[in-house]
Structure 1
Amino acid sequence: MSTEIVQLVEQAGPYLSAAVGVYGAAVFSRAQDSAVNAAADATASLGQRILRAVWHGRDDQGRTALETAVREAAGEPDDADAMGALRHLIKRALREDTELAREVAGLLPATGGVTVNVSGTRAIGAQHIGLAASGDNTTIHPRQQ
């Protein structure tokens, strides 16, 4: 189960980061903000649901530790260690509570699929692509054989 938990937390990582980035320390109490970009909101919303599930499964001491880790990760968004500490707490919680691990696994999209969130002017998102060009005055020259 340990390897599965590590993979589960790795898969949840982008959603957790998005939730902390969008909602910050208010992730446990804030309702979804409809003004947030739809793609970012879907990702952040899933991260928020994961964090809330873990929060509800903890005792008071565990909740306090989780809130502190979220606050620190939100306060220092470029600090990989702060986000790593949050992921570590979640990993520990999932190892201690197999029902919680199943609940979180059920929230995540099935593995093997691909989710791509793209936003912004001229943004490109693709799974398999031979050639992609974006921008003004782009010229593509065929390769000479």
Structure 2
Amino acid sequence: MDAEIVQLAEAAGPFLMTAAGAYGAAVLSRTEDAAADATVNVGRRILQAVWRHRDEAGQAALEAAVTDVGNDPEDSDAAAALRQQIKRALRDDAELRAELAALLPATAPGAVTINATGDRNNVAHTIGTAVSGDIAMPRP
């Protein structure tokens, strides 16, 4: 598979999972919500772009994958199935690849992007010790 397609699908992954987790299959027809965070809106726009570029069978497969992620956002198999749908769409459509690349935020080479949602999420990159929770107890 073309490295560009894999890179685009991987870069889009966090946005797709957040949007599908927030709205389920309704994300495919939902309009932009000013109250939704930027990650959800980018994911929604990506999914809608892919939807527009697919035939009826492709739309049905995409909708099923988005529904599965919406039903269980923590299911890694559902996330993988959704990424596979995106890769298929990108592989078949150079115009979609360009559209998706334009929707994704630009990152500097070597940059790390980390998205976290929900209460009490800790995110760290290259850290020795991270403590999370209401009560942190030292080890004996």
Specify the TM-score bucket, using the shorter chain as the normaliser: 0.7 to 0.9
Q: In structure 1, what is the equivalent of residue 55 of structure 2?
A: 59
Structure 1 position 120, deviation (Å): 7.6
What amino acid does structure 2 have at the position aligned with 1:9? A
Q: In structure 2, what is the equivalent of residue 69 of structure 1?
A: 65
Structure 1: gaps (5+ residues): 139-145
Report percent identity of matched pairs: 56
TM-score norm. by structure 1 comes to 0.75
Q: In structure 2, what is the equivalent of residue 26 of structure 1?
A: 26
Q: In structure 1, what is the equivalent of residue 11 of structure 2?
A: 11
Looking at structure 2, the residues matched to 78 and 132 of structure 1 have their Cα atoms a distance apart, in angstroms, of: 22
TM-score norm. by structure 2 comes to 0.77
Structure 1 position 28, deviation (Å): 1.1
Of 80, 85, 102, the residue aligned with 2:81 is 85
Aligned-CA RMSD value? 2.8
Contact 2:13 2:83 in 1 (8 A): yes
Distance 1:35 1:133, change over 3 A: same
2:104 maps to 1:108: yes
Q: In structure 1, what is the equivalent of residue 93 of structure 2?
A: 97
Aligned residue pairs, count? 134
Distance 1:3 1:33, change over 3 A: same
What amino acid does structure 2 have at the position aligned with 1:26? A
Distance 1:123 1:66, change over 3 A: closer
Structure 1 position 65, deviation (Å): 1.0
Between structure 1 and structure 2, the one with the greater Rg is 1
